[in-house]
Structure 1
Amino acid sequence: MVTSVFLYACESWTLTAELQRRVQALELRCYRKMLNISFKDHVTNNEVKTRVRRAIGPVEDLLSIVKRRKMTWYGHVTRSSRLAKTILQSTVPGGRRRGRQKKRWEDNINEWTGLSFANSQRASEGRSRWRRIVRRSSRVPQQPP
């Protein structure tokens, strides 16, 4: 139940480094709660993940689920011809503010696929090709022990 509540409307998030860190922290906090492991026990995150895998089998990371759902939604909207597509692909006239630019929703798609926004739009027109791209791009690289 926690997963479904957590993932509600995750397709609209812009995943910054801070938000990714917080998602991973929440996931490990939930695992520790389920396994009744206190922070005082000094059990590493990798050990917690190993215990979870032993207890319930392979589990997909929350971050991978969020990325996959966001990219799947992007492909769905890009193939449609509705208001959501117009909103997603339109631009606002004028410039952006000075300084470091905030990460945009589409920047996540470009970063994960390695394609420009125009190329990702063309790629998402073919459903089977887009599914392969989503499968490849939504994996979260494991941190070295």
Structure 2
Amino acid sequence: MSNTLEDHVGTVNIGGRTITNLRFVDDIDGVAGEENELSRLVNQLDRASTKFGMEISAEKTKLMTNEHGSITTNISVHGQNLQMVQFKYLGAIISDQGSKPEVLARAAQTMTALSKLKPIWKDKNISVKCKVRLLRALVLSIFLYVCETWMLTAELQRRIQTLEMRCYRTILGISYLSHTSNDQVRTTIQQHIGPYDDLLTIVKERKQRWYGHVTRSDGLAKTVLQGTVEGRRRRGGQKKKWSDNIKDWTKKTFAETQALAHDRDRWRDWVHNSSRRRPDDSTQS
């Protein structure tokens, strides 16, 4: 990669640091601010790979943009044009539509896992407490994978609450036709297992804990999370940022959360309390 970047001038600058690529094991993500720049980067990487006896797989190499519309420049490897897609990276969907595709995909996988365990949920010889433990270990763990990276809108937060209620109604055998409210379902679960954190609370807490971890570190993740990008903002309403969730949930400014997060113990206590603030939800999902 160092040979590829010898004469390459990157235009993506975050917090004063130029970022041209991200690497993990044998995966490389090229980063560019313009289509021609990305084309040059791909060509240079292809030449450098060939020089060392390696070959880029055109079938596995994809393009993605964070702008509306598509890439108009033909970017190819070995004469084969690369496709523009949303794709999975380390098991998570990376998309220009934000976190919604990933959250919806996780919800679908969670419901599939829930359905496969239907014989267990219907078994009256298994206690509700045991069923909840199995639900958390075998079903909800699928949903929570990389939830720290999600940017949650109000819609996605409602979907998370809806998913949890569907899971609990399934293991309790409560039909929506029974007109049992979500509060009644929560009360029933609590009667069997005691006080517990709901799914949205767990997501919020994990995300805030990761925010504190990154804030106390000194790596690329901190640069990307806290740095500003050069250039002008587009007109109209702006897309919500990952850090906007932290601001909304803590009710603190960015500077205040930064100062608080550097004290591990204080931040842990704050996260524990702020994650548990949620709007009243006594209606059916």
Among 215, 219, 233, the alignment partner of 1:82 is 219
Partner of 1:100: 237
CA distance in 2, matches of 1:133, 1:71: 10
Q: Tell me which moved more, 45-54 or 11-20.
A: 45-54
Count of aligned pairs: 145
Partner of 2:266: 129
Q: For the Cα contact (< 8 Å) 1:61–1:140, is it kept in 2?
A: no
Partner of 2:62: none
CA distance in 2, matches of 1:58, 1:22: 22
- Which is greater in Rg? 2
Q: Kindly report which structure 2 residues correspond to 1:12-23, keeping only aligned pairs within 5 A, or say none.
A: 12-23=149-160
1:7 correspondence with 2:144: yes
Instruction: Summarize the Cα distance change of 1:24–1:144 in structure 2 as closer, same or farther, 3 Å threshold.
Output: closer
Q: For the Cα contact (< 8 Å) 2:148–2:203, is it kept in 1?
A: yes
Q: Which has the higher contact order (CA 8 A, sep 6+)?
A: 1
1:114 correspondence with 2:251: yes
Q: For the Cα contact (< 8 Å) 2:182–2:281, is it kept in 1?
A: no
Q: Tell me which moved more, 14-23 or 89-98.
A: 89-98
CA distance in 2, matches of 1:16, 1:114: 16
Q: For the Cα contact (< 8 Å) 2:183–2:281, is it kept in 1?
A: no
CA distance in 2, matches of 1:109, 1:140: 13
1:135 is displaced (CA, Å) by 1.5
Q: Considering only aligned residues, what root-mean-square deviation do their CA atoms show, in Å? A: 1.5
CA distance in 2, matches of 1:52, 1:13: 27
1:47 correspondence with 2:188: no
**SS of alignment partner, residue 98 of structure 1:** coil
1:95 is displaced (CA, Å) by 2.5
Q: Tell me which moved more, 34-43 or 90-99.
A: 90-99
Q: For the Cα contact (< 8 Å) 1:53–1:59, is it kept in 2?
A: yes
Q: Deviations over 1:77-133 (max 9, x none)?
A: 110111211111112112222222221111111111122112211211111121122
TM-score (norm. length: structure 2): 0.49
Aligned-partner residue type, residue 202 of structure 2: I
**Percent of aligned pairs with the same amino acid:** 57
**SS of alignment partner, residue 244 of structure 2:** helix
Q: Which runs of 5+ in 1 are unaligned?
A: none
Q: Which runs of 5+ in 2 are unaligned?
A: 1-137
1 or 2, which has the higher helix percentage? Answer: 1
